[in-house]
Amino acid sequence: MRIATWNVNSVNARLPTVLQWLEAAVPDVVCFQEIKTVDDKFPREAFESLGYNVEVHGQKSYNGVALLSKYPVSDVRRGLPGSDLLAEGEDDQARYIEALIEAPRPIRVGGLYLPNGNPIGTGKFDYKLRWMGRLNAHARDLLANEEAFTLCGDYNVIPTPDDAKTPSAWVTDALFQPESRAAFRALKGLGLYEAGELGNQPPGTYTFWDYQAGAWQRDHGIRIDFHLLSPQAADRFVGVETHRDARDMDKPSDHVPVVIELAE
């Protein structure tokens, strides 16, 4: 089974590129982030024509996540538990979707778009850290069920200096703050396995290059898109691929897909 995560940075604006990649890579399950559309404007039929069941948790103009599966899905969740932790007047943004993939060996897949958190020292950074706390609590609950699952998506965290071409460029950014990195380590510390580490991907395996300042041409990338696997999913781990070539497609996203393969 092949499971992909991809921040597409507006699914309607990049639909031909996204479809071209899907037809070539043929993942069984896909989690999209930053679809930037409400549910009824999501191009469902285009993906259904490729054989996918489609679940969407959208938001107008911003955020939004979707899950596609060539297998039936059930137990669909839209939104992360813990909305009671929102600050007064704060919206619970469309950043999380989860479903049980009913393959011959089922797996639960959670697709997430973690808040960016910039600028630091503002409520946006506080929201990021609270959201990571909610994700940690949900991951603990999932682990207690002792089932195979992956929490995949755009984590908006640069975990280590090796995950950036130029770490010094990110020292004032929310993605590289000690608190963000500590929250990511705490998540892994629950007993989750990061696919890039399982697959021994080398430093310099980036997943995001900004559109500005020639970042792609100079390979000034960062690695912020991850699959975190439960022990039961890690036992089935075969490999991981970072589809760098997608950044060079026509009208690309600033992120590239990351695909894991699990044994059936």
Residue 62 known to be catalytic: no
113: annotated active-site residue = yes
Angstrom distance (rounded) from CA 37 to CA 64: 7
Burial class (CB within 10 angstroms; exposed 0-12, middle 13-18, buried 19+) of 155: buried
Known binder of ligand: residue 254? yes
136 assigned binding-site residue: no
**Can you spell out the DSSP letters for 157-221?**
---SGGGBSSGGGGTTSGGG-HHHHHHHHHHHHTT-EEHHHHTTPPTT---EE-SSTTTTTTT-E
Cβ distance 93 to 63 under 8 Å?
yes
255 is in an annotated binding site: yes
7 known ligand binder = yes
DSSP string across 16-58: HHHHHHHHHH--SEEEEE---S-GGGS-HHHHHTTT-EEEEE-
The answer to whether 173 is a known catalytic residue is: no
Q: Is 91 annotated as contributing to ligand binding?
A: no
DSSP string, 84-136: GGSPTT----S-EEEEEE-SSS-EEEEEEE----PSTTSHHHHHHHHHHHHHH
Of the listed 154, 163, 173, 225, which one is catalytic? 154
Task: For residue 118, say whether it is annotated as part of any ligand binding site.
Answer: no
**Active-site residue, selected from the candidate residues 52, 96, 113, 206:** 113
User: Which residues sit in the known binding site for Mg(2+)?
Assistant: 7, 34, 154, 156, 254-255
User: Which residues sit in the known binding site?
Assistant: 7, 34, 154, 156, 254-255
Which active-site residues does the annotation give? 113, 154, 255
